Chain A
Amino acid sequence: MDNLGTIGTTEEQIELMDVATNFCRDKSPVDKVRALIDDDLGYDPGIWREIGELGWLAIAIPEAHGGVGLSMAEVVPIAEQMGRNLMSNPFGSTTLAAQALLAGGSEAEQAEWLPKIAEGAAATLALREANGDWDLSNIDATGFESGGTVTLSGKKQLVLWANSAELIIVSIKIDGEVRFALVERSALSDNALRRETVIDETARSYEVTLDGVTVSADALFDESRTRETLEKIELAAGLIHAAEMTGGAQSVIDYTLEYLKTRKQFGKIIGSYQALKHPTVNNYVEYEKARTHLYSAAHSWGEQGRGEVAVRMAAAQSHSSYSTAADRAIQFHGGFGFTHDCDAQLHRRKAILSGALIGDAAYQRSKLANLLFD
Chain B
Amino acid sequence: MADKPSAAELKDYAEQADAWFKENTVRDPGFMLPLTFMEVSTDQQFDFLQDWQRKVYEAGYLGASWPKEYGGGGMHSEFQRVATRAMKKHDAPIMLNAIGNGWAGPLILDLGTEEQKQKFIKPMLSAEDIWCQGFSEPENGSDLGNAQLKAVKDGDDYVLNGSKIWTSLGDRAKYMILLARTDFDAPNKYAGLSFFLNPMKIDGITTSRIKKLTGEYGFVQTFFTDARISADCLFGGEGNGWSMAMKTLEYERGAKVKPVGGFFVKELDVMEIVELAKNSVRNGKPLLDDPVMRDKMTQYMIDIQALNLNNTRRRMPQLMQDRPMGLPLMNKLARTELIRELTEFSLAFQGTKAGYYVGDENAVDDGYWHRSYLNSFSATIGGGTSEIQRNIVAEHALGLPKTR
Taking Cβ atoms with an 8 Å cutoff, the residues of A that contact B are 1, 4, 6-9, 14, 17, 250, 257, 260-261, 268-269, 271-274, 277-278, 280-282, 284-285, 288-293, 295-296, 313, 316-317, 362, 365-366, 368-369, 372-373
Contacts and interface: CB of A to CB of B under 8 A. Distances in A.
Given A313-B302, A369-B298, A372-B301, A291 B319 contact: yes
A126 B46 CA distance: 67
B394 A9 contact: no
A277 B387 CA distance: 10
Given A7-B313, A250-B322, A272-B403, A292 B294 contact: no
Given A7-B313, A365-B299, A373-B274, A281 B394 contact: yes
Given A7-B312, A272-B403, A369-B295, A277 B301 contact: no
B403 A274 contact: yes
B288 interface: yes
Contacts, number: 125
Nearest to A17: B318
Given A284-B398, A285-B333, 8 more contacts: A17-B318, A261-B399, A274-B391, A280-B398, A285-B330, A292-B310, A295-B319, A369-B298
Given A277-B400, A284-B398, A316-B302, A373 B319 contact: no
A303 B400 CA distance: 41
Nearest to B386: A278
Given A14-B318, A317-B306, A278 B390 contact: yes
Contacts of A282: 390
A261 B9 CA distance: 52
B400 A280 contact: yes
Task: Give the dominant DSSP class at B's interface.
Answer: helix
A1 B271 contact: yes
B152 interface: no
A253 B397 CA distance: 13
A260 B401 CA distance: 9
B335 to A, nearest CB: 11
A285 B390 CA distance: 10
B312 A6 contact: yes
A262 to B, nearest CB: 10
A7 B400 contact: no
Contacts of A7: 309, 312-313, 316, 319
Per CB-CB distance, the 6 closest pairs between chain A and chain B, nearest first, are A289-B306, A271-B400, A365-B298, A272-B401, A281-B390, A369-B298
A366 to B, nearest CB: 7
A9 B313 CA distance: 10
A193 B401 CA distance: 52
Contacts of B403: 272-274, 277
A9 B399 CA distance: 28
A281 B394 CA distance: 6
Interface in B295-339: 295, 297-299, 301-303, 305-307, 309-310, 312-313, 316, 318-319, 322, 326-327, 330, 333-334
Nearest to B304: A4
Task: Give the dominant DSSP class at A's interface.
Answer: helix
B393 interface: yes
Interface of B: 271, 274, 277-278, 288, 294-295, 297-299, 301-303, 305-307, 309-310, 312-313, 316, 318-319, 322, 326-327, 330, 333-334, 387, 390-391, 393-394, 397-404
Contacts of A372: 274, 298, 301
A272 B294 contact: no
B306 A293 contact: yes
A289 B399 contact: no
A271 B401 contact: yes
A272 B298 contact: no
Given A14-B318, A291-B319, A292-B313, A278 B394 contact: yes
Nearest to B291: A366
A296 B295 CA distance: 21
Contacts of A317: 302, 306
A272 B391 CA distance: 9
B326 A284 contact: yes
B404 A272 contact: yes
A369 B401 contact: no
Nearest to B327: A288
Contact of B274 (A1, A269, A288, A293): A1
B134 to A, nearest CB: 29
Contact of A368 (B302, B322, B327): B302
A362 B391 contact: no
Contact of A281 (B301, B303, B393, B401): B393
Contacts of A285: 330, 333-334, 393
Contacts of B306: 289-290, 292-293, 313, 317
A209 B180 CA distance: 78
Contacts of A278: 387, 390, 394
27 contacts: A1-B274, A6-B309, A9-B319, A260-B400, A271-B394, A272-B401, A272-B402, A277-B390, A277-B391, A277-B394, A277-B400, A278-B394, A280-B400, A281-B398, A288-B330, A289-B307, A292-B306, A293-B309, A295-B319, A313-B302, A316-B302, A365-B298, A365-B299, A368-B302, A369-B294, A369-B295, A369-B298
A257 B400 contact: yes
A162 to B, nearest CB: 33
